[in-house]
Amino acid sequence: MGGGCDVHSPTMSASSPLFGDLLLKLGIVSPGQVQEALALQALTGQRVGEALISLGYVTREQIQDALGEALGLHQDKSPLQPALGELLVGLKYVTLAQLDEALARQRRDGRKLGEILVELGHCTYKQIYEALGLQNRIAGRQDLPRPSSDGRRRVVVVDDSPLACAFVQEGLVALGYEVLCFQDPFEALESMGRLQPVIVLSDLEMPGLDGVELCRRLKEGPSHAVPAIILTANDVEAERVRGLRAGADDYVNKSASMDELAARIESVVRRTGETERMRKLFARYTSDAVVEEILKSADAVVLTGEKREVTLLFADIRNFTGLAESLPPEQVVGVLNQVLGRMSDAVLTCGGTLDKFLGDGLMAVFGAPVARPDDALRALQSAKMMMDALTDLRIEAEAEWAAGGREGQPLVLELGIGINSGVVVAGNIGSTVRAEYTCIGDAVNVAARLCALAGPGEILVGERTRELVDANETAFEDLPPVRLKGKQQPVPLFRAL
Domain ranges of the chain: 1-75, 154-281, 288-496
pLDDT level of residue 191 (50, 70, 90 thresholds): confident
User: Whose CA is closest to 155, among 130, 167, 136, 172?
Assistant: 172
Beta bridge partners of 13: 8
Mean pLDDT of the chain: 77
User: Whose CA is closest to 310, among 252, 342, 359, 355?
Assistant: 355
Beta bridge partners of 493: 479
Give the model's pLDDT for residue 398: 75
User: Whose CA is closest to 282, among 271, 296, 266?
Assistant: 296
User: Whose CA is closest to 348, among 423, 291, 419?
Assistant: 291
DSSP 3-state of 81: coil
- Report d(CA 15, CA 19) in Å as an integer: 7
CA–CA distances in Å: residue 305 to residues 66, 277, 371: 62, 18, 15
- Report d(CA 152, CA 176) in Å as an integer: 7
Beta bridge partners of 356: 363
Q: What are phi and psi of 7, to 5 degrees?
A: -95, 160
- Report d(CA 379, CA 365) in Å as an integer: 8
The dihedral built from the CA positions of residue 187, 189, 195 and 199, taken in this order, carries a sign that is positive
> Against a cut of 0.75, is the pTM above it?
no
> What is the four-CA torsion angle of 20, 25, 29, 31, rounded to 10 degrees?
70
Encode pLDDT of 213-237 as tens digits. 888 888 888 788 888 998 877 666 6
Give the model's pLDDT for residue 144: 43
User: Whose CA is closest to 319, among 411, 450, 449?
Assistant: 411
Between helices 162-174 and 60-70, what is the axis angle to 10°? 50
- Report d(CA 93, CA 69) in Å as an integer: 30
Residue range 44-73: mean pLDDT, rounded: 65
Give the model's pLDDT for residue 496: 92
User: Whose CA is closest to 419, among 340, 347, 342, 336?
Assistant: 347
Q: Does the structural domain 288-496 have CATH classification 3.30.70.1230?
A: yes
Give the model's pLDDT for residue 479: 93
283 pLDDT higher than 80: no
User: Whose CA is closest to 249, among 227, 226, 274, 233?
Assistant: 227
Give the model's pLDDT for residue 422: 95
What kind and span of H or E run contains 479? strand 476-482
Give the model's pLDDT for residue 444: 94
Give the model's pLDDT for residue 441: 92
- Pinpoint the alpha helices (H) of 55-205: 60-70, 84-90, 96-109, 113-119, 125-138, 162-174, 185-195
Residue range 76-80: mean pLDDT, rounded: 42
End-to-end CA distance of the chain: 64
Least confident of 35-39, 41-45, 166-170, 262-266: 41-45
- Report d(CA 190, CA 219) in Å as an integer: 13
Give the model's pLDDT for residue 461: 96
DSSP 3-state of 305: coil
Q: What's the DSSP call for residue 232?
A: E
DSSP 3-state of 2: coil
* Fold observed for domain 154-281: Rossmann fold (3.40.50)
- Report d(CA 269, CA 273) in Å as an integer: 6
